[in-house]
Structure 1
Amino acid sequence: MVRISPLSGFPEWLPEGRAVERAVLETIQHTFELHGFAGIATRAVEPIEQLLSKGETSKEVYVLRRLQAEEGEEGASEKSLGLHFDLTVPFARYVLENAGRLAFPFKRYQIQSVWRGERPQEGRFREFTQADIDIVGDGTLPFHAEVEVPVVIAEVFARLAQLGVPPVRIHVNNRKVAQGFYEGLGLSDVDGVLRSIDKLDKIGPERVSALLQEQNGASAEQAQACLDLAAITGTDAGIADRVLELGVRTPLLDEGLDELVRLVEAAGRRVPGAVVADLKIARGLDYYTGSVYETTLVGHEQLGSICSGGRYDSLASDGRTTYPGVGMSIGVTRLVSRLLSADIARASRPVPTAVLVAVTDDESRPASDAVAALLRGRGIPADVAPSAAKFGKQIKFADRRGIPYVWFPGDEAHQVKDIRSGDQISADPALWSPPEEDLWPRVTAAMERS
C-alpha cells in the first residue's frame, strides 16, 4: 500500500472548510467592490530581480524552471523567474505596464495565491491566499487615502462578524513619527532602531534597550526615550501631547503626529473602536513612508497580524513619473485556518445540495433526473441518489452529507421530506422551494449551531 506523505505548508481544506473559506472570500470581495475597488489578477511569476527588489531574501522565493530545461536549451531562461511571494511586487509592475490605460487614483483589489518558502507553523504557510486593496496616485496621492484603506478593512471584518469572525483592532503608526523622533534624539541608524523596536513583543523592553545601545548607537537615555515612545497608544489627539512630553521636537515629527491624529480621529468617527494608534508598530516602517497598519483578532492576538500594510511614496516609478500608493493585505489563509482550528465558524452543510431526489428503481432514474432538472432550472441545488437502494438508505445518504430534503417522485404526486424534522408533504417540482435559509449552505458562528 502506497502511503502519501502530506506536504506541510500547503493547506487543503475539506469541503466544510472550503465552504467557510468561500464565504470569507465572498464577503471580502463584496465589501471591496462596495467601496469602488476594481478587481484585477496578475500572473503568478515575476523576474527574480523584481521579486528581490523589495527586500525579500532569496531563500523565500520559489524559482520556476522547466524540468527538462538545461543550460543552453531554449527555455533555460525560465530560471530567472520566480513565483510571487506577495501581491505588491506584481501590482507595482502592473501599474507601470498599464499606466497609460488606468484612471488615477486607481483603486484595485486582488485576491490570489502567493508562495513563500519559509518554515511552516501556525498561521504561516508556503502557499496561501491574500486579499489586497491599494489606492495608487499619479505623482501625488492625498492623505485621506491613508484613512480610507483601514476603514474599508474594518468594514470587511464588521461584515465577517456575521460568520463568527471575532472583532479586530487595527494598530496604526507613522514612519514620520518614528523617524522624526529618533533623528531628534540624535540617532542616525533609524532603520536599525526600527528593527530593534520590532522585537519588543518577542524579547521585552530590557533586551531591546540593550540592543539599541549595543547595535544602534543609543545611550541609555536615548534607548529609554525610544521605549517610552513605543509605549504610547491612543485614539485621539492626546497621543500627540504624550509624544511631545518626551521632549523631542522636529518638523518631520510634527508632520507625522498631525497625520497620525487625523487618521485615528477620522477612523474613530467612521468605524468606532476599530483603529488605535500604537507607536510600537515598527514592522515595515523601514520601507513604508507614511501610515503603517497591523491588524489583530481580538482574543487571538498570539496569531499575530492577519492584515497589514501602509503607504509607499514610490509604489512604482518609471524614472519620469512616480506612483505613490497605500494599501493593506488580508492573510485569508491565516484567518481561515484559525476559524477552522478553533471551531469559530462552521458551514451548515459540506455540499451545496439542498434536495436529494430519490430513485425508486433503475428504470425510473430518468424521471428522477427530470425532477432534479426542474429544481435546478429554478435555482434550487439538487442531486440524484447514486443508486436505487431502499429509501431508508437514500435518506441516510442525504443525512451524512447534511442535505436537508429528500424528494420522492411519483406517477401522479410527488412528496418531499424534511429529514431533520420528519415532516413530509406533497409538492410540485415546478412550484416548491425550500425556505431561504436552506437553499444554500450558510456559514455561521459555531456557537450558534451548538
Structure 2
Amino acid sequence: MATKIAPLSGFPEWLPTDRLTEQLVLDIVRETFELHGFVNIETRAVEPVERLLGKGGDADKEIYGVSRLAGDADERKDSDLGLHFDLTVPFARYVLENAGKLTFPFRRYQIQKVWRGERPQEGRYREFTQADIDIVGAGELPFHYEAEVPLVIADVFARLPIGPYRIQVNNRKIPEGFYLGIGFGPEQVAGVLRIVDKLDKVGGEAVHAALVEFGATDEQARQCLALARISATDTSFVAAVRALGVEHETLEAGLTELAAVMAAGMEHAPGVLVADLKVARGLDYYTGTVYETQLVGQEEYGSVCSGGRYDSLASDGRNTYPGVGISIGVSRLLGRLVPSGAIASSRPTPTCVLVALNTQEDRAAAASLAAALRGRGVATEVAPSAAKFGKQIRYADRRGIPYVWFPPLEPGAAHSVKDIRSGEQTEADPAAWVPPARDLRPQLIADPQE
C-alpha cells in the first residue's frame, strides 16, 4: 500500500516562483551587507548541547537534539549535539576558535537555516532562514557600532518593496538600572525583563498580574509598566524616563547610549528608528542596545528583524570578544509578504528567451544560438519540441518567458524575436541582440496585482 505523502508542519518549502522571490530578496540582502564591508562565513549546523543550553532563554526547551540512529546507546549519549537555534551562538564559537586568524573588529554576515522546536503557526517555523550581521571586537567594542547596525538594516529594507516599517530600539541597561533603582534585586532583573517583554502579546493587566506573582509590589509593577510604555522617535524619551524619578548609574548609562543611537538614526534614517522602552529581547546574552523591527500596520505579526549587543557570549575565560548584531528573519518576513501578494518576482522564471524550433534537426543550431545569448548574460533555453509555433509560444507564456526567438526558415533570412506580452516581433541579430534592461533578469515588485 502506497504511503500518503503529507507536508511536515513548520518546514516550509516554496514553489519555484516564490523561491525565486526569496532568492531576489537574499541577493539584495547579501549585496547590501557587502556594501557595508561585511564578509561572509558559514558555520556548521550543529553545536554541543551544553553550549546551546543557557544561551537562549526560553529557546533552551526548543533545541533539536542530533544523534546517529545506527549508533549504540553510549555513542548516542556521548554525541550530545543539537541543531543551532540562531546564528549568533555558533558565530561566537567560531570567533573563539579562529580568533588568531581574524582581524578585529571583525565584520561578518551569515545567511543560513536555523531550527527551533516550537509550535508552528503563521510566521513561526521549525526550520527557517536567517540573515545576520555582527561586529565583534577583541577585548572591547566601541559603542558607535550599536548605532551602525540598525542603519545597515535600514539600507536593506529601503531596497526591498516591503512597505513602511519601524526599527524599535532600547538599551537593556535602561530597564535593568530602572528595576534595580525601584528595589528589585540583581537576581530578579532577568525575570522581570522576560515578563515585561510580553507586554504587546498579553497586555498591561496580564503583565501587572505576572509581575505581582513574580514578587513585585503593586507600585513596582506600576512603575515597570510606566517605563515600558515610553516611546519616542527622537531623544525626548530621556526626559520622560527621568520624570519617573528613578535614579541608578546603570539607568543613566543606558539613557546616554540609547540617545546616541537615536541621534544617529535621526540623521541617517529619519523616522525609521523608534526608542521603545518595552523591548527587551528574550535571549539572555544581550547586555546593551537591543532591536526589534515591525511592519507598520501589521504589528500583530511581531518582529521580523531583531538583535542586540552582547558582551560575554564569546569568551574563553581569558579573552572576551564583545559584539553587536542584528538578524533578519527572512522566512518570517516572506511568510507574511509572499502569500498576500505584497511582494513577488516580476516573472516566475529566470529565463528571458525561448529559442523556437522549426524542426528537431535544428536543435543543435538552436543550442548554439542559446549559448551565444547566455554568453551576453541573457538567460535562454531551447523549446522542448518542434511543435507548432503557436504551441511553443503558449509554452513560453505558461512559463512566464517574455521573449521567443525565431530562427530563419530559409538560409540567409533574418532572425526575429517576439515579445509575447505585447505581440511585437522585430528582426534580431544573434550576435548583438539583448533585451531591455528591465527584462534581463527578474525584479522584485510590490503589489503585483495593482
Which range, TM-score by smaller chain? over 0.9
Other-structure match for 1:336: 334
Asked whether the equivalents of residues 352 and 441 of structure 1 are also in contact (C-alpha less than 8 Å), the reply is: yes
Other-structure match for 2:8: 7
Other-structure match for 2:29: 28
Amino acid aligned to 2:441:
W
What is the CA distance between 1:421 and its match in structure 2?
Answer: 1.3
* Structure 2 residue 166 is the aligned partner of structure 1 residue 165: no
Deviations, residues 167-215 of structure 1 (Å, cap 9, x unaligned): 2211111111111111111122212221221222222212222222221
Instruction: From the superposition, tell whether residues 394 and 184 of structure 1 become closer, same or farther in structure 2 (CA, over 3 Å).
Output: same
Instruction: From the superposition, tell whether residues 58 and 361 of structure 1 become closer, same or farther in structure 2 (CA, over 3 Å).
Output: same
Asked whether the equivalents of residues 38 and 107 of structure 2 are also in contact (C-alpha less than 8 Å), the reply is: yes
Q: Secondary structure at the match of 1:172?
A: strand
What is the CA distance between 1:20 and its match in structure 2?
Answer: 1.0
Structure 2 distance, partners of 1:169, 1:115, is: 26
Determine which of 392, 395, 414 is the counterpart of 1:394: 392
What is the CA distance between 1:369 and its match in structure 2?
Answer: 1.5
Q: Secondary structure at the match of 1:315?
A: coil
Structure 2 distance, partners of 1:59, 1:178, is: 26
Other-structure match for 2:172: 175
What is the CA distance between 1:417 and its match in structure 2?
Answer: 1.1
Structure 2 distance, partners of 1:303, 1:444, is: 22
Other-structure match for 2:358: 360
Asked whether the equivalents of residues 56 and 282 of structure 2 are also in contact (C-alpha less than 8 Å), the reply is: no
Instruction: From the superposition, tell whether residues 224 and 324 of structure 1 become closer, same or farther in structure 2 (CA, over 3 Å).
Output: same
Asked whether the equivalents of residues 194 and 282 of structure 2 are also in contact (C-alpha less than 8 Å), the reply is: no
What is the CA distance between 1:76 and its match in structure 2?
Answer: 4.0
Deviations, residues 292-328 of structure 1 (Å, cap 9, x unaligned): 1111011221111011111111131111111111111
Asked whether the equivalents of residues 157 and 167 of structure 1 are also in contact (C-alpha less than 8 Å), the reply is: no
Amino acid aligned to 1:190:
V
Structure 2 distance, partners of 1:151, 1:236, is: 15
Asked whether the equivalents of residues 42 and 90 of structure 1 are also in contact (C-alpha less than 8 Å), the reply is: yes
Asked whether the equivalents of residues 66 and 81 of structure 2 are also in contact (C-alpha less than 8 Å), the reply is: yes
Other-structure match for 1:294: 292
Which moved further from structure 2: 145-154 or 217-226?
217-226
Q: Secondary structure at the match of 2:314?
A: strand
Structure 2 distance, partners of 1:382, 1:323, is: 49
Cα RMSD of the aligned pairs, angstroms, is: 1.6
Structure 2 distance, partners of 1:93, 1:79, is: 18
Determine which of 311, 314, 318 is the counterpart of 2:312: 314
Other-structure match for 2:199: 200
Instruction: From the superposition, tell whether residues 250 and 385 of structure 1 become closer, same or farther in structure 2 (CA, over 3 Å).
Output: same
What is the CA distance between 1:17 and its match in structure 2?
Answer: 0.5
Which moved further from structure 2: 1-10 or 292-301?
1-10
Q: Secondary structure at the match of 2:338?
A: helix
Number of residue-to-residue matches in the alignment: 443
Amino acid aligned to 2:382:
V
Residue pairs, 1:223-242, within 5 angstroms? 223-242=221-240
Other-structure match for 1:145: 145
Q: Secondary structure at the match of 1:299?
A: coil
Structure 2 distance, partners of 1:321, 1:209, is: 41
Other-structure match for 2:114: 114
Structure 2 distance, partners of 1:342, 1:97, is: 43
Determine which of 380, 383, 402 is the counterpart of 1:382: 380
What is the CA distance between 1:395 and its match in structure 2?
Answer: 0.5
Structure 2 distance, partners of 1:245, 1:212, is: 22
What is the CA distance between 1:2 and its match in structure 2?
Answer: 5.0
Which moved further from structure 2: 289-298 or 419-428?
419-428
- After TM superposition, the score normalised by the length of structure 2 is 0.95
Asked whether the equivalents of residues 313 and 324 of structure 1 are also in contact (C-alpha less than 8 Å), the reply is: yes
Other-structure match for 2:264: 266
Asked whether the equivalents of residues 107 and 136 of structure 2 are also in contact (C-alpha less than 8 Å), the reply is: yes
Other-structure match for 1:80: 80
Other-structure match for 2:70: 68
Asked whether the equivalents of residues 194 and 286 of structure 1 are also in contact (C-alpha less than 8 Å), the reply is: no
Structure 2 distance, partners of 1:79, 1:59, is: 18
Instruction: From the superposition, tell whether residues 58 and 143 of structure 1 become closer, same or farther in structure 2 (CA, over 3 Å).
Output: closer
Asked whether the equivalents of residues 281 and 294 of structure 1 are also in contact (C-alpha less than 8 Å), the reply is: yes
Amino acid aligned to 1:60:
E
Residue pairs, 1:420-435, within 5 angstroms? 420-435=421-436
Structure 2 distance, partners of 1:285, 1:126, is: 18
Asked whether the equivalents of residues 158 and 167 of structure 1 are also in contact (C-alpha less than 8 Å), the reply is: no
Deviations, residues 97-129 of structure 1 (Å, cap 9, x unaligned): 000111111111111111111111000111110
Query: Identity over aligned residues, as a percent?
Result: 63
* Structure 2 residue 444 is the aligned partner of structure 1 residue 443: yes
Structure 2 distance, partners of 1:315, 1:135, is: 13
Which moved further from structure 2: 291-300 or 191-200?
191-200
Other-structure match for 2:343: 345
Other-structure match for 2:55: 54
Q: Secondary structure at the match of 1:316?
A: coil
What is the CA distance between 1:71 and its match in structure 2?
Answer: 2.6
Other-structure match for 1:210: 209
What is the CA distance between 1:77 and its match in structure 2?
Answer: 6.1
Instruction: From the superposition, tell whether residues 328 and 363 of structure 1 become closer, same or farther in structure 2 (CA, over 3 Å).
Output: same
Amino acid aligned to 1:306:
V
* Structure 2 residue 281 is the aligned partner of structure 1 residue 280: no
Deviations, residues 32-84 of structure 1 (Å, cap 9, x unaligned): 11111111111111111112130355542222222311235xx6467411211
What is the CA distance between 1:288 and its match in structure 2?
Answer: 1.4
Other-structure match for 2:40: 39
Instruction: From the superposition, tell whether residues 149 and 19 of structure 1 become closer, same or farther in structure 2 (CA, over 3 Å).
Output: same
Asked whether the equivalents of residues 367 and 409 of structure 1 are also in contact (C-alpha less than 8 Å), the reply is: no
Structure 2 distance, partners of 1:370, 1:182, is: 72
Amino acid aligned to 1:441:
P
Instruction: From the superposition, tell whether residues 226 and 356 of structure 1 become closer, same or farther in structure 2 (CA, over 3 Å).
Output: same
